Chain A
Amino acid sequence: MSSSGLPIPGGDVPITPLGLGISVAFDLASALVTHLKNAKLPQSLIDDAQKVVDAVLAHKDDTMTQSEWEALRGT
C-alpha cells in the first residue's frame, strides 16, 4: 500500500531507477490524476494521463509477457 492507501501494483520494489521511492512516486502519480480531475480538464485528457500512469505503474519491472501482448489483439 502507498501512504494514500492505494495498492502499489507488483509493489515489492522499493526504489525506482531514478532513486525515487515507489510509494512516493505512486502518491505523486495519484495526486497528479486527482489534480487533473479537479482542474475540470476535458475527460479525454484525464483518461490519457490516467492510462499512461496506470500502464507504467503496472509494468515498472519491464515484464510485458506474451500473454499481455496477446490480450491487446483484435477488438
Chain B
Amino acid sequence: MKVTYSKIREGFIALAASLAVTLAIGGCPKIEKDAYLVAVGAKAFLDSEYSKHPECATNPATNVCVLLRKATSAKDVLIDAAEVYCGGPGYMTGGPCAPPAKTDTAYKVAYDRLSAALADYQQTEKDLKALLQKGGN
C-alpha cells in the first residue's frame, strides 16, 4: 500500500486525537499508568515478533533473536520495577497500585527505578524496530 504525505499527516492527527481521548478519559497520566501501557504494547509487539521468528525459540545468536530476548528481559525488569513502586499496603493481596507517599524517601528511589526501567525498555524496543526495518536477522 502506498502511504502518501496526507495519509501520514492524517495518521498523526488521528493519534493526537487518540491521546486527547485518552487524557479525557484517564486524566493526567501517572508513571505506573505509562509503564502499564508500555508493558501492554511491549507484550503484544514481542509476542508478534516471536511468532514471526520461530527460530528464536532455540536461542540462536542472530541479531534479531538476541534483541528479542533483550527486549523481553527489559519488559520484565519494567514489570519488576512497577511492582516495587506499586507494592504498598494491600497491593500483594489484589489491591490497586499503592506507591509510597511522595514525602517518603522510598518514593524517589522507586520512582527513579521505574522511570529508568521504562526508558531502558523503550530504547531496546527502538533498537529492535530499527533492526527489523533494515531487514536484519
Smallest CB-CB separation from A47: which chain B residue?
B44
Residues of B within 8 A of A (CB): 1, 3, 7, 10-11, 14-15, 17-19, 21-28, 30, 32-33, 36-37, 39-44, 46-47, 50, 72, 75-76, 79, 82-83, 86, 91-92, 94-97
Residues of A within 8 A of B (CB): 16-18, 20, 22, 25-26, 28-29, 32, 35-36, 39-42, 45, 48-49, 51-53, 55-57, 59-70, 72-75
A64 vs chain B, min Cβ distance (A):
5
Contact A36 B27 (CB under 8 A): no
The tally of CB-CB contacts under 8 A between chains A and B is 123
Contact A45 B1 (CB under 8 A): no
Contact of B21 among A32, A48, A51, A70 (CB under 8 A): A32
Contact B47 A51 (CB under 8 A): no
Contact A75 B46 (CB under 8 A): yes
What are 13 A-B pairs at a CB distance below 8 A? A17-B26, A25-B24, A29-B18, A42-B1, A48-B15, A51-B40, A59-B26, A63-B97, A64-B33, A64-B96, A65-B97, A69-B83, A75-B72
Contact of A41 among B11, B36, B43 (CB under 8 A): B11
Contact B21 A74 (CB under 8 A): no
Among all A-B residue pairs, the 8 with the closest Cβ atoms = A17-B27, A63-B96, A49-B18, A72-B43, A72-B39, A25-B25, A56-B22, A20-B24
